[in-house]
Amino acid sequence: MEFSAPYFLFLGDARDPLSVKTSRGIADWRPDKCIGEISMPDCPLTLGLPQITFAEAAAKGAKTFVLGLANRGGFIAPEWVPYLMEALAHGMDIASGLHGKVADIPEVKQLADKLGRRIFDVRHPTGTLDVGSGRKRAGKRILAVGTDCSVGKMYTTLAIESELKVRGEKTDFRATGQTGILINGQGISVDAVVADFISGAVEMLSPANDPDHWDVIEGQGSLFHPSYAGVSLGLLHGSQADVLILCHQVGRTHVRKLEELPLPDFKSCIETNLAAARLTNPDVIWGGISVNSSALGEEEALEYCREMSALHNVPCVDPVRHGTAALVDYILEHKGTTA
C-alpha cells in the first residue's frame, strides 16, 4: 500500500489535540511532504502548516488528501464527506487511517471510480499476501519490541531512521500500523492481515535489499500482551531482525487495560524476544533501550537511562529528550560492517 506525496491534511471538526496526533505525526516526521492543512469552521486546531483551500492545494500539486484524525468509533463522519468529494474533484487520492472505510461510502467510491482516483484505507490491507518463508534476505534490519503496547515503538523507529540518515546510511522506515503508514506513505497494517500471513506480510514489507541497507521496522504489541502477542511473534519471525530495540514507558507496571497482569522486567522481556527472533536470525543482538520518560523530570530521566544502561550494558535513551545517537552508535559499532 503506497500513496503519493505531497499531502493535503484534513483536521475535520476535531477539538481535542490527541485526535489529530496522526496528522501531527505526518507534519512532524515528513514536513517536506506536507503542502498544507484544511479544517472545518469550528475546528480550533492547527498543525502550523499553511491553511489553504482545495483549489490552492491542487495548484501546489497536492496528490493525496489525508484523514489523519480519530473520532469515537473510528467512523467517517457524514459532515466530512463533502470534503472528500472536493478532494477527489481537485485531483487528489484519499488516504485514511480510520476503522470505517472511505471506500464503503457509495458516493465517494463512485466519484473516485469515475475520476480514476485511488482510496487508501490503510487499516484494511489489500493485495495478495503469501505465508512467510523464513528464508534469509539480504540487507540489515532493526525492529522495535516492547514491554507492552503503546510504549513508543513507532516514535523510536522513526527517530532511528532519521539518525541513520544523518549518518549517511541507506535506510527505510517500514510501517506496520496505520499511523506509521500515514506518516510514511506506505506500509502494511500487520495486525489487520489474516493470521496465517503475519510473517509473510513482514517479509513482503521488508524485502531483500543492499547488504549495507537498514530497514527500521515499526513493532506492534508485545510478546507479553495476551491479546496481541501472535502479531508480535509473526513480526519477529518475518522481520529476521539483526537488532532489537526494547521500548518501555517509564512508570507503567501492568499490561495496558489488563491491570492484573504485571509487565515483564527488561531482562526477561528481551531474552524472550531474542530467543524467538533467533529462529529466523541466529545473529540477532539487543541494540538498546528506548523509553518514554515523560513521567520523570529531566534530571531523573537522565539518571534512569544511565542506570538502565549500566545495568544492561546497552545504551538507554528517551528519543524525545536525548535523541537516538547513542542507539545508532551502538548499532553501527556492532552491526555496521557488511558481513
Contacts with its own copies, residue ranges (CB under 8 A): 131-135, 190-200, 223-224, 226-234, 237-238, 255, 258, 260-261, 272, 275-276, 279-280
Closest CA relative to residue 162, chosen from 334, 327, 301, 338: 327
DSSP run (H or E) holding 34: strand 34-39
In eight-state DSSP terms, residue 72 is G
Cα distance between residue 163 and residue 315, in whole Å: 15
Minimum gap (Å) between residue 103 Cβ and its own copies: 17
Residue closer to its own copies by CB (options 82, 226) is 226
Cα distance between residue 314 and residue 330, in whole Å: 8
Minimum gap (Å) between residue 158 Cβ and its own copies: 22
Cα distance between residue 286 and residue 297, in whole Å: 27
Residue closer to its own copies by CB (options 196, 283) is 196
Residue closer to its own copies by CB (options 43, 261) is 261
Helix/strand/coil for 246? strand
Cα distance between residue 7 and residue 9, in whole Å: 6
Residue closer to its own copies by CB (options 238, 315) is 238
Q: Residue 6 in contact with residue 132, Cβ under 8 Å?
A: no
Minimum gap (Å) between residue 105 Cβ and its own copies: 21
Minimum gap (Å) between residue 209 Cβ and its own copies: 19
Minimum gap (Å) between residue 221 Cβ and its own copies: 9
In angstroms, how far apart are the furthest CA atoms of the chain? 61
Distances (CA, A) of 188 to 1, 143, 194, 261, 270: 7, 15, 12, 29, 25
Residue closer to its own copies by CB (options 166, 275) is 275
Closest CA relative to residue 220, chosen from 203, 243, 202: 202
Q: In what order do the strands lie in the sheet with 213-217?
A: 170-174, 213-217, 140-146, 243-249, 285-292, 316-317
Residue closer to its own copies by CB (options 114, 135) is 135
Minimum gap (Å) between residue 258 Cβ and its own copies: 5
Residue closer to its own copies by CB (options 53, 253) is 253
Minimum gap (Å) between residue 51 Cβ and its own copies: 36
Residue 24 grid coordinates:
501531527
Cα distance between residue 9 and residue 2, in whole Å: 17
Minimum gap (Å) between residue 232 Cβ and its own copies: 8
Minimum gap (Å) between residue 144 Cβ and its own copies: 17
Residue closer to its own copies by CB (options 2, 260) is 260
Cα distance between residue 204 and residue 1, in whole Å: 11
Q: Residue 122 in contact with residue 180, Cβ under 8 Å?
A: no
In eight-state DSSP terms, residue 61 is T
Residue closer to its own copies by CB (options 79, 196) is 196
